[in-house]
Amino acid sequence: MWLHASCKLDFEIPVATPFILMLRPRSGSQQWVAREQYMLNPGTEAVEFTDQFGNLCQRLVAPAGFFSIQTAFDIEVADSSDVAHGAPFVPVEQLPDSTLPFLLPSRYCESDRFTQMAATLVEGVNPGYDQCAKIVEYIQNSLAYTPGEGQEIISATEVNQKTQAVCRDMAHLGIACCRALSIPARMVVGYLEPLRPMDLHAWFEAYVGGRWYTFDPTQTTLAGGRVAIAYGRDAADVAVYTQFGDPVEILNMEVHVEQISAPTD
């Protein structure tokens, strides 16, 4: 399907402030960017670089006063997310080098603290995709999805003590449990067309059967219409904006996603 997506961030900047932004989708096997706009108001010099996970990032210094970032793009994405029950576990010694960072504990995904719990959760389940699906089932049964409720980023161990969570929290718990089973897992931040209320969204991917598969504990049916903006070990790697120095006030954030017909030029 073709989607038009946009994101607008408005800030009040007290003094000139450095930012790193992560708002541009990249084309790849699961999505293709046909058109893109990226506007800064007031116009500000920005330098783009690619981080260690392949994300497109922009560095800039926002001037004091009102500052706005607006992105928009037309993108082709899959109508549905692939499901592969029975896809096998890949032994660590056979994993691609690029997946290895996603096996290790990270700031918000302390997988070394979930070894026993994860093993108990998947007891009797075929190693690989089916174990990941079982972990998602546990999260859905344990936590109520409450979009917009969680402002503070918390770790998987903290999430596991709660009864409700936002998408980011649920992804952290899923990632930690998968890594505890030696399954590479990474966080994804982006857009989900069916999401209501509309906002930026987080889910996770696990590497089984020789490729990455999508898992989303917030959805009872695994929906398509996903646009990936950033990949990382956890939320610390995938912030759509990071500012340095004294805190700045975000005045407004608007996210829109809609289906469109294919671009004609």
Q: Render pLDDT for 26-51 as a digit per residue (tens, 0 to 9).
A: 998 889 999 999 999 999 999 999 99
Domains annotated for the chain, with CATH where assigned, are 2-78+241-259 (2.60.40.2250), 92-223 (3.10.620.30)
Smallest Cα–Cα separation from 212: which of 1, 29, 3? 29
> What local confidence, expressed as pLDDT, does residue 197 receive?
87
Percent of the chain past pLDDT 90, that is, above it, reads: 91
pTM beyond 0.75? yes
Q: Quick check: 265 pLDDT over 80?
A: no
> What local confidence, expressed as pLDDT, does residue 264 receive?
59
CA angle 131, 132, 133 (to 5 degrees): 90
CB 103 within 8 A of CB 165: no
What tokens were used for 246? 């004294």
DSSP state of 202: E
Distance between CA 49 and CA 116 in Å, rounded? Answer: 40
- pLDDT tens, residue by residue, 49-86: 999 999 999 999 999 999 999 999 999 999 999 999 99
Smallest Cα–Cα separation from 28: which of 61, 77, 63, 74? 77
Q: Quick check: 149 pLDDT over 90?
A: no
The upper half-sphere exposure of residue 152, i.e. CA atoms within 13 Å in the direction of its Cβ, equals 5
